[in-house]
Structure 1
Amino acid sequence: MINKIGKITLYVNNQEQAKKFWTEKLNFVVKLEQPMGPNINWLEVGPNENGSTTFVLYDKNSMMSQNPPTNVSHPSVILSTTDIETAYNKMKINSVDVGELMNMPYGKMFSFKDQDGNEYLLREDK
């Protein structure tokens, strides 16, 4: 159902400054950078080209305008699967509190909550 811990979102005040910090000061590499809408970029960095877990450097103000209830004061964990529909259906059968299955330009995903109400995101990686 879940294959790996895929991404951890770090909500940042300025994506370019965060990118410089991780790449220039800590020698991380840019794993993925692409536009996801007007004035919004999806930016992932990781310690090397081969690693699978990345940090998503996401602009705090963009997230607060897209989804006001999101808590941007701490990182967000994104888990990965290769079969999002099966994972979604299994979680529903197992009475997991799941959100809507979303089909975004950059992939399919949905949120779910654990027993304490902590929210996670499961994204399909193909």
Structure 2
Amino acid sequence: MFNNQVKVILYAQDVKKASEFWQTLGFVLISLDEIDGSLVAEVAMTETSDTHLVIYDRQFVENNSGEAVEPSPALIFSSDDVVALYKELKDKGIQVGEIAQIGEEFVFNFVDADGNYFVVSGQ
């Protein structure tokens, strides 16, 4: 049976830089390990979060895996105060899109260090 823990793989040009980006957003570093000469970072919203982002070096995976590196997944993060989070990310110099209202929810996107887009939705 499945449990509540979910790990989402992200590929990055620079694992350390990508990990630092997520930590800038308030994520915590769960682990930073070297595997066969390549860094792998795991970050989560909190130390007890059931969802973790595992960041692999894109070039390492492309060179050592028989399968192609998939594009980044489309992730939608939830927030109880979208406007405050938007302002916080903007103040930290994170590239953000405009806030839009869809029904009763607010939505915006932001870009990580590798140019991947992520969405935030909520009140």
Q: What is the aligned partner in structure 1 of residue 72 from structure 2?
A: 74
Cα distance in 2 for partners of 1:71, 1:20 equals 22
1:29 offset after TM fit, Å?
0.5
Q: What is the aligned partner in structure 2 of residue 27 from structure 1?
A: 26
Q: Among the aligned pairs, what percent are the same residue?
A: 26
- Any gaps of 5 or more consecutive residues in structure 2? 74-123
Q: What is the aligned partner in structure 1 of residue 45 from structure 2?
A: 47
Give deviations 1:11-35, integer Å, cap 9, x for gaps.
11111110111112x0111011222
Cα distance in 1 for partners of 2:69, 2:19 equals 21
Partners of 2:13 and 2:58 within 8 A in 1: yes
Runs of at least 4 residues off by over 3 Å: none
Partners of 1:60 and 1:72 within 8 A in 2: no
RMSD over aligned CA atoms reads 1.9
Cα distance in 2 for partners of 1:22, 1:74 equals 15
Give deviations 1:94-121, integer Å, cap 9, x for gaps.
xxxxxxxxxxxxxxxxxxxxxxxxxxxx
Give TM-score, length-normalised by structure 1: 0.52
Q: What is the aligned partner in structure 2 of residue 101 from structure 1?
A: none
1:53 offset after TM fit, Å?
1.2
Cα distance in 2 for partners of 1:4, 1:64 equals 30
Identify if the C-alpha distance between structure 1 residues 51 and 74 changes in structure 2 by more than 3 Å, giving closer, same or farther: same
- Paired residues, number: 74
| Bigger RCO (CA 8 Å, 6+ sep) | 1
- Any gaps of 5 or more consecutive residues in structure 1? 76-126
